[in-house]
Amino acid sequence: TLLPPNRKLLTLAQRPLHLYETDGSGEQDQDEADSGTKKKKKRPRSKKTLSPRILLLWRFEEMVKEKYDLYLRQYMAQTLHDGVEQQKIATLQSAANLLSSVPEGESKLLTMMVNKLGDPDKKTASAAGHQLRNVLQQHPNMQIVIAREVQQLAHRPHLSPRALYNCIVFLNQLQFKRSEKNQDSGEQNTFDGQSATQSPSLPASLIKTYFGLFEVAVQQHSSQSSSKKRKSSSSDEAGTMKSRLLSALLTGVNRAHPYLPEKDQDMEEHVDALYRIVHTATPGACTQALMLLFHLAVGLHMEKDQEDDDHGLDQEDD
């Protein structure tokens, strides 16, 4: 691609044209009749001079920006929406290459790719997750922004269970670092001109999302169980998907909890919600909730024991 790899394209409205309002010809004399005598009036010198070539280049850049935006909206977005399976997969690969190489249109590209996690076609949804992981391998600093976009998709109303499951599976596969446990909340990442402050931390944000989706899934499951049961293949498939979704949520909590910073380890509000689920939900959902409670209790206990062991080893070394 010929687009600049280190900056976004600019329009003429974003250029400092107000600095070039004068012609820049310097001091010019102007005859002025005043009481029969001639006086010289000096014009102010402009701060900069703007050549027609530069102005043409700026206008050309604006036209390239408009055409590229049109390409994203009318070709790529339309292909991902109405194309066949192979076209969608190829377009996802092109979108990932553009997102990794140039900053222009990165917000639109990311939104299009994340939305395909909810595609009804399994191969297309799988390709979207694969391409997003490829982007993260090349640009690890985009992890917070991509995770936030996927979380927004997961919280959409009337999202299909399979699309929600794809979102949770993608979030489960995010790689954390031990340094993130004590990361300051003031650290920022920028994307598309906006700063993303890591407060709360990414593991804490994911756990909050997992617990919220877990409670919603359990409530939906209990409401469906209380209604008339219909024995059919579709209902069995829906029940299987619900079970896989609850397991994926449990896996997400298991992976993110060890990386919680100290400032985000207050889980009381989630624990209370789990206890409410245990007392109101069906036996299968109660089992999942009890497993989460057990994980939280054992996880905190093991972390405290590990800290005590490390402290004892430090004293022995001294």
More confident residue, 166 or 28: 166
Question: What share of the chain in percent tops pLDDT 90?
Answer: 36
Per-residue model confidence (pLDDT) at position 204: 86
* 98, 109 Cβ separation under 8 angstroms: yes
Per-residue model confidence (pLDDT) at position 1: 62
- The CA distances from residue 315 to 111, 191, 306, 308, 309, in Å, are 52, 45, 14, 11, 10
Q: What is the 3-state secondary structure (H, E, C) of the chain?
A: CCCCCCCCCCCHHHCCHHHHCCCCCCCCCCEEEECCEEEECCCCCCCCCCCHHHHHHHHHHHHHHHHHHHHHHHHHHHHHHHCCHHHHHHHHHHHHHHHHHCCCCHHHHHHHHHHHHHCCCHHHHHHHHHHHHHHHHHCHHHHHHHHHHHHHHHCCCCCCHHHHHHHHHHHHCCCCCHHHHHCCCCCEEEECCEEEECCCCHHHHHHHHHHHHHHHHHHHHHHHHHCCCCCCHHHHHHHHHHHHHHHHHHHHHHHHHHHCCHHHCCCHHHHHHHHHHHHHCCHHHHHHHHHHHHHHHHHHHHHHHHHHHHHHHHHHHC
Per-residue model confidence (pLDDT) at position 127: 95
| Band of residue 179 on the pLDDT scale cut at 50, 70, 90 | low
Region 291-309 average pLDDT: 62
Per-residue model confidence (pLDDT) at position 185: 43
pLDDT, tens digit, for every residue of 114-123? 999 999 999 9
Phi, psi dihedrals of residue 38, rounded to the nearest 5°: -105, 130
Per-residue model confidence (pLDDT) at position 75: 92
More confident residue, 11 or 17: 11
Distance of CA 233 to the CA centre of its chain: 36
Per-residue model confidence (pLDDT) at position 33: 42
Per-residue model confidence (pLDDT) at position 24: 44
pLDDT, tens digit, for every residue of 98-133? 999 999 999 999 999 999 999 999 999 999 999 999
| Band of residue 46 on the pLDDT scale cut at 50, 70, 90 | very low
- The CA distances from residue 294 to 48, 251, 297, in Å, are 69, 13, 5
Residue 25, pLDDT above cutoff 50: no
Q: Specify which of 49-63, 141-155, 201-215, 282-296 reaches the highest per-range mean pLDDT.
A: 141-155
Per-residue model confidence (pLDDT) at position 244: 81
Question: What share of the chain in percent tops pLDDT 70?
Answer: 66
| Band of residue 26 on the pLDDT scale cut at 50, 70, 90 | very low
Q: How far apart are CA 194 and CA 131, in angstroms?
A: 23
Mean model confidence pLDDT for the chain:
76
Residue 230, pLDDT above cutoff 60: no
Per-residue model confidence (pLDDT) at position 188: 47
Smallest CA-to-CA distance from 213 within 176, 180, 171, 173 is with 171
Q: Specify which of 93-97, 240-244, 302-306 reaches the highest per-range mean pLDDT.
A: 93-97
Residue 190, pLDDT above cutoff 80: no
Q: How far apart are CA 20 and CA 28, in angstroms?
A: 17
Region 228-254 average pLDDT: 69
pLDDT, tens digit, for every residue of 249-268? 878 887 887 787 776 666 66
- CA 273-278-282 angle, to 5 degrees, is 125
Per-residue model confidence (pLDDT) at position 81: 92
| Band of residue 229 on the pLDDT scale cut at 50, 70, 90 | low
